[in-house]
Amino acid sequence: MIKKYLKIKNEYTDAAKARGTRQLFRLQVMIDVLYALMIYKLFIFLPNPEIDNFGRSELYRVLTESYLNYTIIIIGLVLVMLYWAQNNLQFGNLERTDGKHASLAILQVFSLMLYIYLVRLDAQFPGELILMQLQSLFLAIAGFLAVGTWHYALKAGLISKDPTELEKDKMYIKLLPEPIVSILTFPLAFFGPMVWTLAWLLLIPVEYLSKVVQRKMKARKV
């Protein structure tokens, strides 16, 4: 009886692993589609005469005076691409997924979609403090959800055998710059849209520090 139970349990485990592998592929496809939609949405936020109600005579003025909106859209595009690259890096190390992991991954993408919606509002109502802070907030949430997703995948045994222990640990450091910078930009929104927008350049030194930490981790392992 016990042997029969153990056999059924093992069969269930093998079946669950097989389902997890199939679900991982479906999850990857769905997330890639959502990222593609977010990138498309960013481009349609550019000034449109039919939506923004301007004519030929106002074209030059709109194009020259909307530089801050363009900057916000460019920053949004860069950040979405960074999160997409992170997602690909994480998923490239996975062997399978499960319900909790998939939920965390979808929540991260949902946070980014809310960020894209706020970018649109920011383009329509430039300089609004609450919109800038909410953008920082949802990007931070998306970033920390990425860290949480990776941590859960490690604890649940969803990672493939390919990455080394060092690579697994370094993944945490690779995922942290974006949410850290998002938190730093939140209070800087009080100083106005120009300061808040320029604050995203903090990604450059924070990314550099992340690489320094990763190199030191590698040196300690050698």
Helix (H, G, I), strand (E, B), or coil: what is residue 159? strand
85-137, pLDDT tens digit by residue? 888 889 889 989 988 999 999 999 999 999 989 988 887 788 899 999 999 99
Say what the pTM is.
Answer: 0.81
Residue 94's φ and ψ, nearest 5 degrees, are: -90, 150
18-46 mean pLDDT? 83
Q: What is the dihedral of CA 119, 120, 126, 127, to 10 degrees?
A: -30
Whether the pLDDT of residue 144 is over 90: the answer is yes
Q: Where are the domains of the chain?
A: 2-221
56-71, pLDDT tens digit by residue? 667 667 666 666 667 7
Would you state the pLDDT for residue 9?
41
- 183 vs 190: CA distance, rounded Å: 13
191-204, pLDDT tens digit by residue? 998 899 899 999 99
